[in-house]
């Protein structure tokens, strides 16, 4: 983690922070936290994505934390000289559209599937990308504001399934540091409504049709459902195709 190096790379020209194609709370929180951090150094990044922000949790946090994101189709003037920071995703992965701009940096918490060169790379196997962004604040003596802290807390909690999935001590430490800055009353209220009725129908259909072979589960959903619902550890076939 070298914030000074990242700032030096991004200080000239236009900057886009690109999330994966179906941004979830961790991707949105990470992009937002990085955006607000870079703004402190005079850099004005635009958060962008392809696909759709479909999940209720993602839609809710955009409103609650005043986060602005732009679909790549609405960016008609991006050039190869524009700089892109891939966040919560990596270049050449199927969930990250290859945009016109130059992917100069990558910050992610997933294993690397395709090795590629960046001017700046910070990839660590931890529970949430939001934890990595939180460290950028605290390691550099910068206090996150309430919206940033709340979004990062939410990203950590959602991506680790309330500290029950893939969590590392690092995630716990960052959550503890963020806690005093976050709007925890708001976060408690957000936990009460994280799923739409259409989501329940899709999950119910998947459960009814699941087939398990050894330690791999396959499920069939006989109607189209949002790509964002497809879990990393369950392969589903819906009217929209295989995942």
Over residues 128-174, the pLDDT tens digits come to: 999 999 999 999 999 999 999 999 999 999 999 889 999 999 999 99
Q: Is residue 231 pLDDT above 50, yes or no?
A: no
- 88 pLDDT more than 90: yes
pLDDT for residue 230 is more than 60? no
Say which residue, 219 or 28, is predicted with more confidence: 28
CB 221 within 8 A of CB 239: yes
Q: What is the pLDDT of residues 169-226, one digit of tens each?
A: 999 999 999 999 999 999 888 876 655 556 666 667 777 777 888 878 777 777 666 5
pLDDT value, residue 55? 74
Q: Which residues of 127-163 are buried (b: 16+ CB within 10 A; e: fewer)?
A: bbbbbbbbbbbeeeeeebeebbbbbbbbbbbbbbeee
| Tokens matching residue 188 | 């408690």
CATH 3.90.1640.10, the chain: domain bounds: 3-190
d(CA 86, CA 95): 11
What is the rounded average pLDDT for all residues in the chain? 86
User: In CATH, which of 3.30.70.20, 3.40.50.150, 3.30.1330.20, 3.90.1640.10 is domain 3-190?
Assistant: 3.90.1640.10
């Amino acid at each position: 983690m070298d914030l000074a190096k990242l700032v030096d790379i991004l200080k000239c020209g236009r900057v886009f922070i690109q999330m994966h194609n179906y941004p979830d709370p961790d991707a949105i929180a990470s992009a937002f936290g990085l955006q607000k951090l870079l703004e402190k150094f005079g850099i004005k990044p635009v958060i962008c994505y392809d696909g759709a922000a479909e999940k209720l949790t993602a839609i809710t946090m955009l409103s609650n934390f005043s986060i602005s994101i732009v679909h790549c189709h609405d960016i008609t003037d991006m050039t190869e000289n524009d700089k892109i920071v891939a966040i919560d995703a990596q270049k050449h992965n199927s969930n990250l559209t290859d945009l016109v701009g130059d992917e100069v940096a990558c910050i992610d918490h997933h294993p690397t599937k395709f090795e590629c060169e960046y001017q700046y790379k910070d990839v660590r196997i931890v529970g949430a990308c939001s934890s990595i962004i939180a460290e950028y604040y605290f390691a550099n003596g910068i206090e996150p504001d309430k919206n940033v802290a709340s979004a990062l807390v939410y990203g950590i909690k959602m991506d680790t399934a309330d500290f029950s999935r893939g969590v590392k001590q690092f995630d716990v430490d960052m959550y503890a540091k963020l806690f005093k800055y976050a709007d925890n009353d708001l976060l408690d209220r957000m936990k009460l409504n994280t799923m739409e009725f259409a989501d329940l129908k899709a999950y119910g259909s998947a459960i009814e049709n699941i087939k398990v072979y050894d330690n791999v589960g396959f499920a069939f959903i006989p109607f189209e459902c949002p790509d964002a619902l497809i879990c990393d550890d369950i392969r589903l076939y819906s009217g929209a195709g295989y995942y």
